[in-house]
Amino acid sequence: MKSKKYYKGKRYRDLQRYIGKIDRWTKGKYWVSVLGKRFIIYPTVFSPKFFRDSEFFARELPINKGEKLLEIGCGSGIVSICAVGKGAGKVVCVDINPVAVKNTERNAGLHGMAGKIRVLHGDVYNPLLDGERFDSIFWNTPWGLVKKKRLDVYEQSLWDTEYRSTERFIAQSVNHLKARGRLLIGFSSTIGDLKYLALLLKKYGFRWKIVKTLESRSVNFSAKFEIIEARRFR
């Protein structure tokens, strides 16, 4: 398999400094507006106030009416809540951060969607029921490929050690996708290693394509984001 493109050097240090500033700026809960809706954001939860990808994924994620959706790494619940608004019949959310679980539950309640969104605490597929399957599984994956072994809760939303969590997400998805189901992957080719991701998808029998892109530019952070759709070919 090809050599990996690690996110390191000045780019890594600059983004780590930006994350440090976010920690100092957000000591308590605060409100944000995304696509005309108000959401509360809890400390340590990935925030659309500082990264525009959440709004992009919430707006552009392709949802089929009535489908059952699983979102890994739900954060504040914005993408799942908007998915229900676009017609998803049932949504299950999983997050490794217990604060994010509470945050998603709060926002689902605020938008009157508690009955359609089930929120679970755990790592990738661990908390799911045996045999539970979905039409679509979405994860705004931690894009940055790093060697660092110990990551705190916030870092785990941005970095993935040797892409182990990403590989597990792809490999074990076959146990939770319906026969004609698909993976929807939120990605940043600016920060992540798209070629290595493509090799992992091929390794586990998926064809993939980019269905939406966003060029995001700001004073503190600029990146290209993609939504990738992947389906099994074997």
Q: What is the pLDDT of residues 185-215, one digit of tens each?
A: 999 998 899 999 999 999 999 999 999 999 8
Give residue 91's identity as a one-letter amino acid code: V
Other CB atoms within 10 Å distance of the CB of residue 28: 7
Per-residue confidence (pLDDT) for residue 221, from 0 to 100:
63
- CB distance 12 to 56 below 8 Å: no
- Asked if residue 172 has pLDDT above 70, the reply is yes
Give residue 221's identity as a one-letter amino acid code: F
Q: Is the pTM of this model over 0.85?
A: yes
- The residues near 51 (Cβ < 8 Å, ≥ 6 apart) are 221
Place of tokens 């490929």: 145
pLDDT bracket for residue 154 (50, 70, 90): low
Per-residue confidence (pLDDT) for residue 17, from 0 to 100:
62
Per-residue confidence (pLDDT) for residue 156, from 0 to 100:
76
pLDDT bracket for residue 14 (50, 70, 90): low
At 98-109, the pLDDT tens digits run 999 999 999 999
Top pLDDT among 19 and 77 is at: 77
Per-residue confidence (pLDDT) for residue 219, from 0 to 100:
47
Token pair for 119: 């929120």
Three-state DSSP state, 218: coil
Look at residues 220, 228, 198, 212 and name the one whose alpha carbon lies nearest to residue 59: 212
Three-state DSSP state, 19: helix
Q: Which of 29-33, 115-119, 144-148, 178-182 has the lowest mean pLDDT?
A: 144-148
Per-residue confidence (pLDDT) for residue 43, from 0 to 100:
87
